[in-house]
Chains A and B, each alone.
Chain A
Amino acid sequence: MDAQTIIARRVAQELRPGNLVNLGIGIPTLVANHVPEGLKVFFQSENGLIGTGPIPEQGMAHPLLTDAGGKPISALPGAATFDSAMSFGLIRGGHVDITVLGGLQVDAGGHLANWMIPGKMVPGMGGAMDLVSGARRVIIAMQHAAKGKSKIVGKCSLPLTSARPVDMVVTDIAVIAFPGGKATLMETAPGLTIAEVLAVTEAELAIPDMVPEMKL
Protein backbone atom coordinates (compact mmCIF):
# COMPACT_ATOMS: atom_id res chain seq x y z
CA MET A 1 0.00 0.00 0.00
CA ASP A 2 1.46 3.40 -0.92
CA ALA A 3 2.03 6.13 1.66
CA GLN A 4 -0.93 8.28 0.64
CA THR A 5 -3.36 5.34 0.74
CA ILE A 6 -2.16 4.34 4.21
CA ILE A 7 -2.77 7.88 5.47
CA ALA A 8 -6.15 8.37 3.77
CA ARG A 9 -7.48 4.98 4.83
CA ARG A 10 -6.43 5.43 8.46
CA VAL A 11 -7.92 8.93 8.66
CA ALA A 12 -11.21 7.67 7.18
CA GLN A 13 -11.56 5.36 10.20
CA GLU A 14 -11.98 8.46 12.38
CA LEU A 15 -15.24 9.45 10.66
CA ARG A 16 -18.48 8.78 12.54
CA PRO A 17 -22.04 8.51 11.21
CA GLY A 18 -23.54 11.93 10.45
CA ASN A 19 -20.28 13.84 10.85
CA LEU A 20 -19.89 17.11 8.98
CA VAL A 21 -16.37 16.88 7.55
CA ASN A 22 -14.14 19.38 5.77
CA LEU A 23 -11.23 18.01 3.75
CA GLY A 24 -8.27 20.17 2.76
CA ILE A 25 -6.43 19.85 -0.53
CA GLY A 26 -3.79 17.19 -1.24
CA ILE A 27 -3.76 13.95 0.76
CA PRO A 28 -6.85 14.99 2.81
CA THR A 29 -8.95 14.99 -0.38
CA LEU A 30 -8.20 11.27 -0.79
CA VAL A 31 -9.97 10.47 2.48
CA ALA A 32 -13.31 10.70 0.64
CA ASN A 33 -12.31 7.63 -1.42
CA HIS A 34 -11.84 5.50 1.71
CA VAL A 35 -15.02 6.14 3.69
CA PRO A 36 -16.07 2.76 5.13
CA GLU A 37 -18.94 1.20 3.22
CA GLY A 38 -22.36 2.15 4.61
CA LEU A 39 -21.03 5.08 6.67
CA LYS A 40 -22.91 8.29 5.89
CA VAL A 41 -21.03 11.54 6.43
CA PHE A 42 -21.46 15.03 4.97
CA PHE A 43 -18.52 16.67 3.26
CA GLN A 44 -18.35 20.45 3.26
CA SER A 45 -16.60 22.47 0.61
CA GLU A 46 -15.83 25.90 2.08
CA ASN A 47 -16.82 27.70 -1.10
CA GLY A 48 -20.40 27.03 -0.09
CA LEU A 49 -21.59 23.44 -0.22
CA ILE A 50 -22.48 20.59 2.11
CA GLY A 51 -22.90 17.28 0.33
CA THR A 52 -20.01 17.30 -2.14
CA GLY A 53 -19.92 14.24 -4.35
CA PRO A 54 -17.35 12.71 -6.68
CA ILE A 55 -15.94 14.28 -9.83
CA PRO A 56 -18.85 14.33 -12.29
CA GLU A 57 -18.97 11.97 -15.24
CA GLN A 58 -18.01 13.42 -18.58
CA GLY A 59 -20.62 15.90 -19.79
CA MET A 60 -22.20 16.22 -16.34
CA ALA A 61 -19.99 18.98 -14.94
CA HIS A 62 -21.61 22.34 -14.14
CA PRO A 63 -19.48 25.50 -14.32
CA LEU A 64 -21.15 26.87 -11.18
CA LEU A 65 -20.54 23.74 -9.08
CA THR A 66 -16.90 23.48 -8.06
CA ASP A 67 -14.64 22.63 -5.17
CA ALA A 68 -12.48 25.17 -3.32
CA GLY A 69 -9.82 24.78 -6.01
CA GLY A 70 -12.30 25.67 -8.76
CA LYS A 71 -12.51 22.10 -10.09
CA PRO A 72 -15.89 20.58 -11.06
CA ILE A 73 -17.57 18.41 -8.43
CA SER A 74 -21.00 16.89 -8.01
CA ALA A 75 -23.57 17.30 -5.26
CA LEU A 76 -25.19 14.34 -3.53
CA PRO A 77 -28.89 14.00 -2.63
CA GLY A 78 -29.51 16.16 0.42
CA ALA A 79 -26.84 18.70 -0.54
CA ALA A 80 -27.17 22.33 0.55
CA THR A 81 -25.54 25.49 -0.76
CA PHE A 82 -24.89 28.74 1.08
CA ASP A 83 -22.78 31.88 1.02
CA SER A 84 -19.28 32.29 2.43
CA ALA A 85 -20.43 33.97 5.66
CA MET A 86 -22.54 30.89 6.44
CA SER A 87 -19.76 28.59 5.33
CA PHE A 88 -17.26 30.11 7.74
CA GLY A 89 -19.92 30.45 10.41
CA LEU A 90 -20.18 26.66 10.19
CA ILE A 91 -16.41 26.34 10.42
CA ARG A 92 -15.66 28.85 13.17
CA GLY A 93 -18.85 28.12 15.07
CA GLY A 94 -17.93 24.53 15.90
CA HIS A 95 -20.49 22.97 13.54
CA VAL A 96 -17.84 21.11 11.54
CA ASP A 97 -17.13 17.87 13.39
CA ILE A 98 -13.82 17.01 11.75
CA THR A 99 -11.41 18.83 9.50
CA VAL A 100 -8.58 16.97 7.80
CA LEU A 101 -5.75 19.19 6.65
CA GLY A 102 -2.27 18.84 5.22
CA GLY A 103 0.73 20.04 7.19
CA LEU A 104 4.27 21.34 6.77
CA GLN A 105 5.18 20.87 10.44
CA VAL A 106 3.45 19.69 13.61
CA ASP A 107 5.34 20.14 16.85
CA ALA A 108 5.55 18.27 20.16
CA GLY A 109 2.72 20.38 21.58
CA GLY A 110 0.43 19.70 18.60
CA HIS A 111 0.88 23.10 16.98
CA LEU A 112 0.45 23.15 13.23
CA ALA A 113 2.28 25.16 10.56
CA ASN A 114 0.78 24.68 7.12
CA TRP A 115 0.25 27.97 5.34
CA MET A 116 3.54 29.62 4.46
CA ILE A 117 7.30 29.31 4.07
CA PRO A 118 8.63 32.85 4.56
CA GLY A 119 10.37 34.17 1.44
CA LYS A 120 9.51 31.04 -0.55
CA MET A 121 5.87 30.14 -0.55
CA VAL A 122 3.35 32.80 0.44
CA PRO A 123 0.08 31.69 -1.16
CA GLY A 124 -2.20 32.91 1.64
CA MET A 125 -3.96 30.96 4.36
CA GLY A 126 -7.35 30.69 2.67
CA GLY A 127 -9.60 28.88 5.14
CA ALA A 128 -6.91 26.98 7.06
CA MET A 129 -6.71 29.27 10.10
CA ASP A 130 -10.47 29.30 10.59
CA LEU A 131 -10.67 25.51 10.25
CA VAL A 132 -8.00 24.89 12.87
CA SER A 133 -9.48 27.49 15.20
CA GLY A 134 -13.06 26.32 14.92
CA ALA A 135 -13.54 22.68 13.92
CA ARG A 136 -14.36 20.28 16.73
CA ARG A 137 -11.57 17.87 15.79
CA VAL A 138 -8.52 18.71 13.71
CA ILE A 139 -6.70 15.81 12.05
CA ILE A 140 -3.49 16.37 10.09
CA ALA A 141 -2.85 14.00 7.21
CA MET A 142 0.71 14.25 5.93
CA GLN A 143 3.89 12.36 5.09
CA HIS A 144 6.03 11.78 8.17
CA ALA A 145 9.07 13.34 6.52
CA ALA A 146 9.84 15.58 3.56
CA LYS A 147 13.20 15.36 1.78
CA GLY A 148 14.49 13.21 4.63
CA LYS A 149 13.52 15.73 7.30
CA SER A 150 10.98 14.90 9.98
CA LYS A 151 7.81 17.01 9.79
CA ILE A 152 7.03 16.11 13.41
CA VAL A 153 9.31 18.65 15.06
CA GLY A 154 10.21 19.77 18.57
CA LYS A 155 8.94 23.28 17.92
CA CYS A 156 7.55 24.67 14.67
CA SER A 157 10.07 26.90 12.88
CA LEU A 158 7.45 27.96 10.32
CA PRO A 159 4.64 30.42 11.16
CA LEU A 160 1.80 28.77 13.07
CA THR A 161 -1.65 28.28 11.59
CA SER A 162 -3.35 28.56 14.97
CA ALA A 163 -2.51 28.67 18.66
CA ARG A 164 -4.98 25.81 19.11
CA PRO A 165 -3.23 22.41 19.00
CA VAL A 166 -4.43 19.73 16.61
CA ASP A 167 -6.02 16.53 17.89
CA MET A 168 -4.32 13.89 15.80
CA VAL A 169 -1.65 13.45 13.15
CA VAL A 170 -1.78 10.53 10.73
CA THR A 171 1.35 9.90 8.69
CA ASP A 172 2.51 7.04 6.49
CA ILE A 173 4.27 5.47 9.48
CA ALA A 174 2.47 6.59 12.61
CA VAL A 175 -0.59 7.92 14.38
CA ILE A 176 0.22 10.60 16.92
CA ALA A 177 -2.17 12.23 19.39
CA PHE A 178 -1.66 14.84 22.10
CA PRO A 179 -3.20 13.67 25.40
CA GLY A 180 -2.35 16.21 28.10
CA GLY A 181 -0.68 18.38 25.44
CA LYS A 182 2.13 15.89 24.84
CA ALA A 183 2.89 14.20 21.51
CA THR A 184 2.19 10.51 22.01
CA LEU A 185 2.72 7.61 19.64
CA MET A 186 -0.65 5.88 19.34
CA GLU A 187 -0.08 3.48 16.41
CA THR A 188 2.62 2.45 13.98
CA ALA A 189 2.18 1.46 10.34
CA PRO A 190 2.03 -2.30 9.75
CA GLY A 191 5.46 -3.92 9.93
CA LEU A 192 7.19 -0.97 11.61
CA THR A 193 8.61 -1.05 15.14
CA ILE A 194 8.37 1.78 17.64
CA ALA A 195 12.14 2.24 17.39
CA GLU A 196 11.94 2.62 13.62
CA VAL A 197 9.34 5.36 13.98
CA LEU A 198 11.29 7.17 16.69
CA ALA A 199 14.45 7.05 14.58
CA VAL A 200 12.87 9.28 11.93
CA THR A 201 10.92 11.57 14.29
CA GLU A 202 12.49 14.79 15.51
CA ALA A 203 9.95 15.49 18.26
CA GLU A 204 10.12 13.53 21.47
CA LEU A 205 7.16 11.14 21.60
CA ALA A 206 5.60 9.63 24.70
CA ILE A 207 5.22 5.85 24.34
CA PRO A 208 2.22 4.22 26.03
CA ASP A 209 2.40 0.59 27.23
CA MET A 210 0.47 -0.57 24.18
CA VAL A 211 1.22 0.82 20.72
CA PRO A 212 -0.80 -1.24 18.24
CA GLU A 213 -0.25 -1.37 14.51
CA MET A 214 -2.70 0.53 12.29
CA LYS A 215 -5.52 -1.74 11.15
CA LEU A 216 -5.87 -0.99 7.46
Chain B
Amino acid sequence: MKSVSAEEAVAMIPNGASIMVGGFMGVGTPERLLDELVRQKKTGIALISNDAAVPGKGVGKLFEGGQVSRMIGTHIGLNPKAQQQMLANEITVDLIPQGTFVERIRAGGCGLGGVLTPTGVGTLVEQGKQKIEVNGKTFLLETALRADFALVHAFLSDYVGNLSYALTARNFNPVMAMAADTVIVTAEHIVPVGVIAPDHVVTPGPLVDYLVANG
Protein backbone atom coordinates (compact mmCIF):
# COMPACT_ATOMS: atom_id res chain seq x y z
CA MET B 1 0.00 0.00 0.00
CA LYS B 2 1.28 3.43 -0.98
CA SER B 3 0.00 6.77 0.23
CA VAL B 4 -0.71 9.33 -2.50
CA SER B 5 -2.55 12.60 -3.04
CA ALA B 6 -5.90 12.59 -4.84
CA GLU B 7 -4.19 14.35 -7.74
CA GLU B 8 -1.49 11.68 -8.03
CA ALA B 9 -4.03 8.89 -7.71
CA VAL B 10 -6.21 10.12 -10.55
CA ALA B 11 -3.20 10.97 -12.73
CA MET B 12 -2.56 7.20 -12.89
CA ILE B 13 -5.93 6.62 -14.58
CA PRO B 14 -5.71 6.84 -18.38
CA ASN B 15 -8.53 8.05 -20.60
CA GLY B 16 -10.72 5.13 -21.63
CA ALA B 17 -10.09 3.16 -18.43
CA SER B 18 -12.76 0.98 -16.87
CA ILE B 19 -13.50 2.22 -13.36
CA MET B 20 -15.60 0.70 -10.61
CA VAL B 21 -16.88 3.28 -8.16
CA GLY B 22 -18.36 2.34 -4.80
CA GLY B 23 -21.46 4.03 -3.43
CA PHE B 24 -25.23 3.91 -3.54
CA MET B 25 -26.86 7.15 -4.70
CA GLY B 26 -23.59 8.89 -3.87
CA VAL B 27 -23.45 7.53 -0.32
CA GLY B 28 -20.13 5.78 0.28
CA THR B 29 -18.56 7.27 -2.86
CA PRO B 30 -14.98 8.62 -2.84
CA GLU B 31 -16.04 12.20 -3.66
CA ARG B 32 -12.52 13.61 -3.73
CA LEU B 33 -11.51 11.19 -6.47
CA LEU B 34 -14.63 12.06 -8.48
CA ASP B 35 -13.81 15.76 -8.13
CA GLU B 36 -10.30 15.04 -9.33
CA LEU B 37 -11.54 12.98 -12.31
CA VAL B 38 -13.58 16.04 -13.29
CA ARG B 39 -10.68 18.45 -12.74
CA GLN B 40 -8.27 16.32 -14.78
CA LYS B 41 -10.95 15.94 -17.49
CA LYS B 42 -10.57 12.18 -17.86
CA THR B 43 -12.71 11.00 -20.78
CA GLY B 44 -14.03 7.82 -22.35
CA ILE B 45 -14.62 6.30 -18.94
CA ALA B 46 -16.24 2.86 -18.79
CA LEU B 47 -18.06 3.33 -15.51
CA ILE B 48 -19.17 0.41 -13.37
CA SER B 49 -21.37 1.81 -10.63
CA ASN B 50 -24.70 0.85 -9.09
CA ASP B 51 -26.42 4.06 -10.17
CA ALA B 52 -25.75 7.44 -11.75
CA ALA B 53 -26.45 9.23 -8.42
CA VAL B 54 -27.86 12.74 -8.94
CA PRO B 55 -26.32 15.70 -10.78
CA GLY B 56 -23.48 17.21 -8.75
CA LYS B 57 -23.07 14.23 -6.43
CA GLY B 58 -20.82 11.16 -6.64
CA VAL B 59 -20.51 9.63 -10.10
CA GLY B 60 -23.26 12.04 -11.19
CA LYS B 61 -20.50 14.63 -11.65
CA LEU B 62 -18.97 12.62 -14.51
CA PHE B 63 -22.05 12.98 -16.71
CA GLU B 64 -22.08 16.77 -16.69
CA GLY B 65 -18.95 17.05 -18.82
CA GLY B 66 -19.70 13.94 -20.89
CA GLN B 67 -16.80 12.00 -19.40
CA VAL B 68 -18.55 8.63 -19.42
CA SER B 69 -18.73 6.64 -22.66
CA ARG B 70 -20.17 3.43 -21.28
CA MET B 71 -21.86 2.45 -18.04
CA ILE B 72 -22.81 -0.80 -16.39
CA GLY B 73 -25.24 -0.20 -13.54
CA THR B 74 -28.68 -0.96 -12.17
CA HIS B 75 -30.52 2.37 -12.02
CA ILE B 76 -29.99 5.80 -13.58
CA GLY B 77 -33.50 7.18 -13.10
CA LEU B 78 -32.55 9.94 -10.68
CA ASN B 79 -29.94 11.54 -12.92
CA PRO B 80 -31.68 13.32 -15.84
CA LYS B 81 -28.29 14.04 -17.48
CA ALA B 82 -27.41 10.34 -17.62
CA GLN B 83 -30.91 9.54 -18.93
CA GLN B 84 -30.62 12.14 -21.70
CA GLN B 85 -27.20 10.89 -22.76
CA MET B 86 -28.47 7.31 -22.86
CA LEU B 87 -31.61 8.16 -24.86
CA ALA B 88 -29.50 10.26 -27.29
CA ASN B 89 -27.12 7.29 -27.72
CA GLU B 90 -24.19 9.39 -26.54
CA ILE B 91 -23.41 6.73 -23.97
CA THR B 92 -24.02 2.99 -23.88
CA VAL B 93 -25.75 1.87 -20.71
CA ASP B 94 -26.16 -1.75 -19.63
CA LEU B 95 -28.85 -1.84 -16.95
CA ILE B 96 -28.81 -5.11 -15.02
CA PRO B 97 -30.49 -6.34 -11.83
CA GLN B 98 -28.73 -5.13 -8.69
CA GLY B 99 -28.24 -8.59 -7.22
CA THR B 100 -26.71 -9.71 -10.51
CA PHE B 101 -24.52 -6.61 -10.65
CA VAL B 102 -22.97 -7.24 -7.25
CA GLU B 103 -22.58 -10.99 -7.81
CA ARG B 104 -20.82 -10.46 -11.16
CA ILE B 105 -18.35 -8.16 -9.42
CA ARG B 106 -17.96 -10.59 -6.53
CA ALA B 107 -17.25 -13.36 -9.03
CA GLY B 108 -14.67 -11.16 -10.75
CA GLY B 109 -12.91 -10.55 -7.48
CA CYS B 110 -13.03 -14.15 -6.33
CA GLY B 111 -11.65 -15.89 -9.38
CA LEU B 112 -14.98 -17.27 -10.56
CA GLY B 113 -16.07 -17.31 -14.19
CA GLY B 114 -19.54 -16.13 -13.27
CA VAL B 115 -22.63 -17.01 -11.27
CA LEU B 116 -25.96 -18.73 -11.85
CA THR B 117 -28.96 -16.63 -10.83
CA PRO B 118 -32.71 -17.10 -11.22
CA THR B 119 -33.14 -13.32 -11.47
CA GLY B 120 -34.08 -12.24 -14.98
CA VAL B 121 -35.28 -15.63 -16.25
CA GLY B 122 -38.32 -15.02 -18.47
CA THR B 123 -37.59 -11.27 -18.84
CA LEU B 124 -35.66 -9.02 -21.24
CA VAL B 125 -32.59 -9.64 -19.08
CA GLU B 126 -32.22 -13.22 -20.34
CA GLN B 127 -31.61 -12.11 -23.94
CA GLY B 128 -28.33 -13.43 -25.27
CA LYS B 129 -27.53 -15.32 -22.10
CA GLN B 130 -26.96 -18.99 -21.56
CA LYS B 131 -29.67 -20.72 -19.54
CA ILE B 132 -28.60 -23.58 -17.33
CA GLU B 133 -30.83 -26.01 -15.50
CA VAL B 134 -29.69 -27.21 -12.08
CA ASN B 135 -31.84 -29.62 -10.08
CA GLY B 136 -34.89 -28.73 -12.17
CA LYS B 137 -34.55 -24.97 -11.73
CA THR B 138 -33.57 -22.57 -14.52
CA PHE B 139 -30.75 -20.07 -14.01
CA LEU B 140 -29.00 -17.48 -16.13
CA LEU B 141 -25.24 -17.66 -16.48
CA GLU B 142 -23.99 -14.19 -15.59
CA THR B 143 -20.31 -13.67 -16.29
CA ALA B 144 -17.73 -12.14 -13.97
CA LEU B 145 -17.00 -8.43 -14.05
CA ARG B 146 -13.66 -6.74 -13.37
CA ALA B 147 -12.22 -3.29 -13.97
CA ASP B 148 -8.87 -1.56 -14.43
CA PHE B 149 -9.46 0.58 -11.33
CA ALA B 150 -11.71 0.44 -8.26
CA LEU B 151 -12.35 3.69 -6.42
CA VAL B 152 -13.40 2.80 -2.90
CA HIS B 153 -14.53 4.86 0.07
CA ALA B 154 -14.07 3.56 3.61
CA PHE B 155 -14.89 4.99 7.01
CA LEU B 156 -11.60 3.99 8.63
CA SER B 157 -8.30 3.03 7.08
CA ASP B 158 -5.26 2.26 9.17
CA TYR B 159 -1.69 2.92 8.02
CA VAL B 160 -1.44 -0.46 6.27
CA GLY B 161 -4.75 -0.05 4.44
CA ASN B 162 -7.01 -2.24 6.56
CA LEU B 163 -10.50 -0.85 5.99
CA SER B 164 -13.78 -0.70 7.84
CA TYR B 165 -16.98 0.92 6.64
CA ALA B 166 -19.88 2.82 8.20
CA LEU B 167 -23.63 2.20 8.06
CA THR B 168 -25.10 2.24 4.54
CA ALA B 169 -21.87 3.65 3.05
CA ARG B 170 -20.45 0.12 2.88
CA ASN B 171 -22.64 -1.12 -0.03
CA PHE B 172 -20.50 -2.10 -3.05
CA ASN B 173 -17.15 -0.94 -1.70
CA PRO B 174 -15.78 -4.17 -0.16
CA VAL B 175 -16.85 -6.20 -3.19
CA MET B 176 -15.27 -3.76 -5.67
CA ALA B 177 -12.05 -3.66 -3.65
CA MET B 178 -11.56 -7.30 -4.73
CA ALA B 179 -12.35 -6.89 -8.42
CA ALA B 180 -9.96 -4.38 -9.99
CA ASP B 181 -6.32 -4.40 -11.06
CA THR B 182 -5.63 -1.22 -9.09
CA VAL B 183 -7.53 -0.28 -5.94
CA ILE B 184 -7.53 3.36 -4.80
CA VAL B 185 -9.10 4.18 -1.44
CA THR B 186 -10.24 7.31 0.35
CA ALA B 187 -11.23 7.11 4.01
CA GLU B 188 -13.07 9.48 6.32
CA HIS B 189 -10.41 8.85 8.95
CA ILE B 190 -6.90 7.46 8.67
CA VAL B 191 -5.93 5.89 11.98
CA PRO B 192 -2.96 4.07 13.55
CA VAL B 193 -2.62 0.33 13.12
CA GLY B 194 -4.55 -1.38 15.90
CA VAL B 195 -7.43 1.08 16.05
CA ILE B 196 -9.38 -1.25 13.78
CA ALA B 197 -9.40 -4.57 15.64
CA PRO B 198 -8.58 -7.55 13.40
CA ASP B 199 -12.15 -8.84 13.81
CA HIS B 200 -13.50 -5.52 12.54
CA VAL B 201 -11.40 -5.28 9.40
CA VAL B 202 -13.71 -5.77 6.40
CA THR B 203 -11.19 -5.21 3.61
CA PRO B 204 -7.68 -6.46 4.49
CA GLY B 205 -4.81 -4.07 3.74
CA PRO B 206 -3.07 -6.15 1.04
CA LEU B 207 -6.06 -5.50 -1.26
CA VAL B 208 -5.42 -1.76 -1.21
CA ASP B 209 -2.85 -0.40 -3.71
CA TYR B 210 -3.17 3.31 -2.95
CA LEU B 211 -4.54 5.18 0.04
CA VAL B 212 -5.35 8.82 -0.60
CA ALA B 213 -3.88 11.01 2.15
CA ASN B 214 -6.34 13.19 4.03
CA GLY B 215 -6.00 16.90 4.67
Using a CB–CB cutoff of 8 Å, the interface residues on chain A facing chain B are: 45-49, 62-66, 68-70, 75, 81-85, 88, 91-92, 121-130, 133-134, 159-163
A96 to B159, CA, bound (A): 38
A63 to B23, CA, bound (A): 12
A92 to B120, CA, bound (A): 12
Please pick, from A68, A70, A128, the residue contacting B26 in the complex, using a CB distance under 8 A. A70
CB<8 Å pairs between A and B, sample of 26: A45-B168, A47-B171, A48-B168, A49-B167, A62-B167, A64-B168, A66-B25, A70-B53, A81-B167, A83-B202, A84-B171, A84-B172, A85-B102, A88-B98, A88-B103, A92-B118, A124-B76, A126-B74, A126-B98, A127-B98, A129-B120, A133-B120, A160-B123, A161-B123, A162-B122, A163-B122
B contacts with A, residue count (CB < 8 A): 49
Task: Report whether B167 and A70 are in contact in the complex, using a CB–CB cutoff of 8 Å.
Answer: no
Task: Report whether B169 and A64 are in contact in the complex, using a CB–CB cutoff of 8 Å.
Answer: yes
Please pick, from B75, B118, B171, B202, the residue contacting A125 in the complex, using a CB distance under 8 A. B75
Please pick, from B28, B96, B106, B155, the residue contacting A85 in the complex, using a CB distance under 8 A. B106
Query: Would you list the 5 A-B pairs with minimal beta carbon distance, nearest first?
Result: A123-B77, A163-B122, A70-B25, A88-B99, A130-B99
Least distance between B47 CB and chain A CB atoms (Å): 14
Task: Report whether A85 and B170 are in contact in the complex, using a CB–CB cutoff of 8 Å.
Answer: no
Chain A residues in 8 Å Cβ range of B54: 70
Least distance between B102 CB and chain A CB atoms (Å): 4
Please pick, from A82, A92, A122, A125, the residue contacting B74 in the complex, using a CB distance under 8 A. A125
Please pick, from B86, B96, B98, B174, the residue contacting A83 in the complex, using a CB distance under 8 A. B174
A126 to B169, CA, bound (A): 17
A159 to B97, CA, bound (A): 14
Chain B residues in 8 Å Cβ range of A70: 24-27, 53-54, 78
